[in-house]
Structure 1
Amino acid sequence: MKKFIAEFKEFAIKGNVLDMAVGVIIGGAFGKIVTSLVNDIIMPVITLLVGATDFKNLSLVLKEPVNGSEGISLMYGQFLQNVIDFFIIAFVIFMMLKLMLKLSSLRQKQEEEKMEEKGPTTEELLVEIRDLLKENKN
């Protein structure tokens, strides 16, 4: 049992697990921001263009209620809301990844330029000296 607990501690303290936990928390907060963007900014504009008073309540009545029984409606407004949410989230994530990749490649180029400016490393110089000494022996 002690071995199991030790293994669990090692797993839980690893950087990957902590990184994942931070990612989940930030992802949840990011989801709230995107939901607010969609509900409070984008959907009122779409609702204005469509002419509906409440986009989420758009529906197609398939069967009218008869004698107290419930009617059947196809609630496509909420579905459209979820589809729009998905595309906005996907677009924002795409743009963020594109920006991160651009920043990453820029940082990599800067590091490569620094390495080129510094000249050869000590290890490279030692390898070169070794090779020269081998050539002189022959």
Structure 2
Amino acid sequence: MWKEFRAFAIKGNVMDLAIGVVIGTAFSKIVSSLVEDLIMPLFAYFVVGVDFSSWSYAKIEYGNFLQTIVDFFIISFSIFLVIRFLNKFKKKEEVKEETVTVDTKEELLKEIRDLLKAEAVREKE
């Protein structure tokens, strides 16, 4: 059962979907911070006298926006490292499978070569 779950979890489509969800969530925080911390305060500054929820004056919090971008890059880099590790593990499994098939092919080619040599010797006699 563990092997089946591992094969399912490591399958490309499931990993791509998980990565997309995590990156999409982190990117949505960037968009939210852009609107809440940069665009809306500027808009409120130009529309003086209108109360947007609890704002009484325009306050641009660019530090919050920059922190959200840093968080996004940290999350993205962490996912990159995990996927890179999983891909190395996956490649090692593929290499092991390929070496087994290569050995079998080489043995068959050696047998064919030996048979051809034996047949060539018979024809010369």
TM-score, normalised on structure 2? Answer: 0.47
The one of the two structures with greater contact order (alpha-carbon pairs below 8 A, sep at least 6) is: 2
Structure with the bigger percentage of strand = 1
Greater helix content: 2
TM-score norm. by structure 1 comes to 0.43
